[in-house]
């Protein structure tokens, strides 16, 4: 069942056209990551769904209720939309306890005291905050504050929850743990979640689908695998992974394969865009697809090693291709000097 549909949404703030026809949908039990660089319009899209920004055209439907429609001038206020919202900064009230922070919205809605107590205690318990109800926000760690912000959104039992960078204030280790429990929690509650992030690894780990925004336009949407393995544009290819980038000219295209020729090298790759013969193009190769080889062969290059970096679980190698750095991974440190590397043709995407 579709819980949220956004169709062709346009939003202008001041004189800036921020969202330029964005569309997405969200099903029950599904987590969709809204991914994109800073300033691409992620927060604007989330706030528009919540009813905190005023679009100029398009349509927003939550469950079976149209909450915004530009053509028929429907615009439901925030509280009627009944969404959970976790802001980019948690926006906890500093002078209220954890319990009061979570209870506040229910009080405003004139929920009976006994029901407030049981619902707040239930959600605090679910999020591992059962013992912290009497504390104030400044007496909590970043991770605990983040859970309070989430508890405050979940206490209404919304069908759709909107999360704006919910993990961005946590340090790297806590973040990795939090994305696991947050995903489990959303699945357990069987609600739909739209989660903004600008971290592609987090988007892939947490979500069932990813919607990638650039300059207010959705560049591509799909499962994490689709986004990572079959990017439709150079922007998506670059955004979704750690990459090597090669500039050259396209020669001898046959079907969807071509040679990319650069300064002293020629590599076979997959044509991801239409190119004329001798046209300039850029190729992207995921860092993990560059492999060490034992000698010359197709799509192999002999390159000087610039440096090896020890990363704990792997070594990262940096090679030099006439001024362009090429990076790869391997299990052992490499001695200085020249080494053969291979870039499989299927892993060289020519845009
Ligand atoms: N009130 C406003 N008036 C005019 N422009 C605005 C306003 N609020 C935001 N913008 C602009 O809209 C664009 C999108 O902003 P938005 O906050 O949606 O980006 P974002 O993708 O959430 O970025 P970040 O990752 O930095 O949070 C930015 O260029 C921003 O400067
Ligand atoms: Mg934002």
* DSSP state for residue 229 in the 8-state scheme: H
Domains of the chain by residue range: 2-232, 242-350
Pocket residue to mutate for ligand 1, from 9, 11, 12, 16, most atoms within 8 A of Cβ: 16
What pLDDT is stored for residue 143 in this prediction?
A: 83
Tokens of residue 236, six digits:
């998506």
| CB of 42 shorter than 6 A to ligand 1 | yes
Strand partners, 246: 283
| CB of 40 shorter than 6 A to ligand 1 | yes
Question: Measuring from atom 6 of ligand 1, which residue has the nearest CA?
Answer: 13
Mapped onto helix, strand or coil, the DSSP state of residue 73 is coil
Rounded Cα gap, residues 119 and 199, in angstroms: 33
Determine the distance separating the centroid of ligand 2 and the alpha carbon of 42, expressed in angstroms.
6
Around ion ligand 2, residues with a beta carbon closer than 5 Å are 43
Site of tokens 């609600």: 191
| CB of 41 shorter than 6 A to ligand 1 | yes
| CB of 14 shorter than 6 A to ligand 1 | yes
Rounded Cα gap, residues 51 and 77, in angstroms: 6
Task: Give the CATH H-level superfamily of domain 2-232.
Answer: P-loop containing nucleotide triphosphate hydrolases (3.40.50.300)
Task: Classify each residue of 245-277 as buried b or exposed e, where b means 16 or more C-beta atoms within 10 Å of its C-beta.
Answer: ebebbbeebeeeebbbbeeeeebbbbbbeebee
Tokens of residue 308, six digits:
């090896």
Atom of ligand 1 nearest to the CA of 196: 22
Residues 6+ apart with CB under 8 A from 301: 265, 267, 321, 340, 341, 343
Rounded Cα gap, residues 292 and 305, in angstroms: 12
The count of residues in the chain is 351
Residues 6+ apart with CB under 8 A from 313: none
Residues 6+ apart with CB under 8 A from 114: none
Determine the distance separating the centroid of ligand 1 and the alpha carbon of 162, expressed in angstroms.
17
Determine the distance separating the centroid of ligand 1 and the alpha carbon of 12, expressed in angstroms.
10
Determine the distance separating the centroid of ligand 2 and the alpha carbon of 138, expressed in angstroms.
24
> Tens place of pLDDT for every residue, the chain, 351 residues?
899 999 999 999 999 999 999 999 999 999 999 999 999 999 999 999 999 999 999 999 999 999 999 999 999 999 889 899 998 778 899 999 999 999 998 998 889 999 999 999 998 988 889 999 999 999 998 888 988 999 999 898 899 999 999 888 778 888 888 888 889 989 988 999 999 998 999 999 999 999 999 999 999 999 999 999 999 999 999 999 999 999 999 998 889 999 999 999 999 999 999 998 999 999 999 999 999 999 999 999 999 999 999 999 999 999 999 999 999 999 999 999 999 999 999 999 999
Tokens of residue 127, six digits:
């999020």
**Sign of torsion, CA 219 225 228 233?**
negative
């Amino acid at each position: 069942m579709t819980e949220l549909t956004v169709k062709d949404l346009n939003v202008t703030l001041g004189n800036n056209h921020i969202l330029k026809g964005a569309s997405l949908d969200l099903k029950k039990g599904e987590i969709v990551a809204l991914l994109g660089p800073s300033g691409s319009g992620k927060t604007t899209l989330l706030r528009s769904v919540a009813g905190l920004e005023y679009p100029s055209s398009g349509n927003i439907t939550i469950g079976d209720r149209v909450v915004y429609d530009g053509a028929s001038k429907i615009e439901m206020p925030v509280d009627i939309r009944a969404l959970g919202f976790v802001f980019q900064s948690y926006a906890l009230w500093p002078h209220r306890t954890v319990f009061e922070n979570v209870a506040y919205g229910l009080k405003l809605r004139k929920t009976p005291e006994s029901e407030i107590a049981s619902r707040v205690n239930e959600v605090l318990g679910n999020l591992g905050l059962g013992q912290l109800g009497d504390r104030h926000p400044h007496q909590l760690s970043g991770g605990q504050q983040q859970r309070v912000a989430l508890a405050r959104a979940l206490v209404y039992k919304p069908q759709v929850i909107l999360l704006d960078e919910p993990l961005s204030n946590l340090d790297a280790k806590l973040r990795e743990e939090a994305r696991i429990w947050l995903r489990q929690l959303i699945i357990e509650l069987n609600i739909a979640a739209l989660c903004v992030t600008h971290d592609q690894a987090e988007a892939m780990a947490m979500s069932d689908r990813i919607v990638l925004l650039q300059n207010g336009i959705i560049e591509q949407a799909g499962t994490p695998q689709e986004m990572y393995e079959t990017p439709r544009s150079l922007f998506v290819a670059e955004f979704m992974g750690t990459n090597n980038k090669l500039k050259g000219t396209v020669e001898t295209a046959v079907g969807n394969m071509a040679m990319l020729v650069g300064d002293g090298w020629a590599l076979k790759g997959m044509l991801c865009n239409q190119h004329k013969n001798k046209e300039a193009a850029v190729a992207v190769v995921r860092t993990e697809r560059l492999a060490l080889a034992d000698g010359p062969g197709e799509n192999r290059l002999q390159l000087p090693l610039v440096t090896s970096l020890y990363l704990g679980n792997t070594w990262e190698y940096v090679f030099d291709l006439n001024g362009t750095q090429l990076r790869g991974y391997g299990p052992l440190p490499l001695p200085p000097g020249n080494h053969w590397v291979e870039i499989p043709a299927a892993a060289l995407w020519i845009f």
